[in-house]
Amino acid sequence: MAKPNKIIDLLLISLLIFTLAQAEHHTVRRRSRARAFIEIQCQQTLYPDLCIRSLSYYVSNFTANLSLRQLAQVALRVTLANAESTKTYVADVAKDLNQTKSYRFAKECLDQISDGVAQLSNCIKETQMIKEDGETIDFPWHASNVKTWMSTALTDASTCVDGFSGRAFGGKKRAMIKAKVLNLQQATSISLALFNRFAARYRSSHVDKPKV
């Protein structure tokens, strides 16, 4: 016959295993709901595959009740990281091309991407001023700023790509810059689309509410 202490130990171990299994099950369900939400929202963008691929990586950081505001903010942070990485690469290429005829084109692109980084940084700060619930009097102002700055960042990336069209310098370097900036352009487009969806939902659920 098993001793009482051993029985208690077995019961505690069984309870621990059950608790861990339940927690794992809850985590899987939470991640599944978050991923499903991301996939639905990304289908409304111009680049759904890139959207899902880039945002699903952060599923483990999301709660079960993932909101459009959270998703828009994460998309912005991902886009800013992309822009900063692109800026670093273009800066290195511009440095290598110094004293060559192609330097001007690389420098112009660097200036545009640098401006895009500043615009996206402003967007993140602005979205942090928009709450899920609460006062809405300043919402149109915040939303307008974000849309303007993000549109400017999108134009910056597009201008950089256009500036390299037909240029003959360093085939591989040009191709890499173009690939990186095109990816940044698409990421910025995704961020703008997700923010627009959040803004539309916010207006419909907050701005039009009758005052009590």
Report pLDDT for 132.
60
Burial class of residue 1 in the structure, from the number of CB atoms within 10 Å of its CB (0-12 exposed, 13-18 middle, 19+ buried) = exposed
CATH level 2 (architecture), domain 4-207: Up-down Bundle (1.20)
Cα 142 from Cα 54, distance rounded (Å): 25
Give the single-character DSSP code of 1.
-
Cα 106 from Cα 174, distance rounded (Å): 9
Give the single-character DSSP code of 60.
G
Q: Which of 84, 55, 59 is nearest to 191 (CA)?
A: 55
Give the single-character DSSP code of 166.
T
Give the single-character DSSP code of 63.
-
Report pLDDT for 105.
83
> pLDDT tens, 54-76?
998 877 666 556 788 889 999 99
Q: Which residue has the tokens 């352009």?
A: 185
Cα 50 from Cα 194, distance rounded (Å): 13
Cα 146 from Cα 152, distance rounded (Å): 10
Report pLDDT for 202.
83
**Model pTM greater than 0.85?**
no
Cα 209 from Cα 9, distance rounded (Å): 57
Cα 120 from Cα 98, distance rounded (Å): 28
> pLDDT tens, 17-29?
545 444 443 444 4
Q: Are 115 and 90 in contact (CB under 8 A)?
A: no
